[in-house]
Chains A and B, each alone.
Chain A
Amino acid sequence: GQSLEQPSEVTAVEGAIVQINCTYQTSGFYGLSWYQQHDGGAPTFLSYNALDGLEETGRFSSFLSRSDSYGYLLLQELQMKDSASYFCAVDPLYGQNFVFGPGTRLSVLP
């Protein structure tokens, strides 16, 4: 099976950099994804790592280390609108479902 762990809450100030970690146990997966969800909204895709290393998309970067069963989402130049919940997710090799972590609630303070 698969299980993912994330910190429940992170707080940072505008303009800062924040890292949201994700550790996982899985029998194999194609890649690690990150989704953002604002209160009352739908989860939206942010980033995907199929290979180890860093993927950069604007202010957001995501990192994966398969040997350490670990990944993170890095948000730079934080803005108030980045206040949301962030979920890591895996697409398992064995099985058709897509498994999400419990989510990290990010609060950006002025």
Chain B
Amino acid sequence: GAGVSQTPSNKVTEKGKYVELRCDPISGHTALYWYRQSLGQGPEFLIYFQGTGAADDSGLPNDRFFAVRPEGSVSTLKIQRTERGDSAVYLCASSSAGGGTGANVLTFGAGSRLTVL
């Protein structure tokens, strides 16, 4: 597509529920990143994919968070047993380059705002 698409744009759920957030990157972009952003803060790195594999998942806060990219395009961020502290905007970005290659320009989606009640 022309840009990075994220769905849903807004998600309200109850504590303890499972949620999935989807990211459709720019066509042909091999690198895909997930970030989490709280109000007034900078984007916090969660996970980076190069193709189908997670090249760096060091930012995932705990084992309730998981992400996949089975065909090297669309990615899904999965959060189990949600907690109120998970409330944030989840941003996805893609790039034609990748981490560690220099001159890495990220194109972000508009984000998915998650609210856990």
Residues of chain A having any CB pair with chain B under 8 Å: 30-31, 33, 35, 41-45, 48, 50, 87, 91-93, 95-103, 105
Contact = CB atoms under 8 A, between A and B. Distances in A.
Interface of B: 4, 33, 35, 40-45, 48, 50, 55-56, 58-59, 91, 93, 98-111
A102 to B, nearest CB: 5
13 contacts: A31-B103, A41-B110, A42-B4, A42-B108, A42-B109, A45-B106, A45-B107, A48-B105, A50-B102, A87-B42, A91-B99, A91-B101, A92-B100
A98 B104 contact: yes
Interface SS of B by simple majority: loop
A91 B104 contact: yes
Nearest to A87: B42
Given A96-B98, A96-B100, A42 B110 contact: yes
A43 B91 contact: yes
Contact of B100 (A50, A95, A100, A105): A95
B108 A91 contact: no
B41 A102 contact: yes
A41 B110 CA distance: 6
Contact of B41 (A44, A93, A98, A103): A103
A102 B102 contact: no
A41 B51 CA distance: 26
A95 B45 CA distance: 12
Contacts of B102: 30-31, 50, 91
B67 to A, nearest CB: 13
Nearest to A8: B40
B44 to A, nearest CB: 8
B6 to A, nearest CB: 9
Contacts of A102: 41-42
Contact of B99 (A41, A42, A97): A97
Contact of A99 (B4, B45, B50, B103): B45
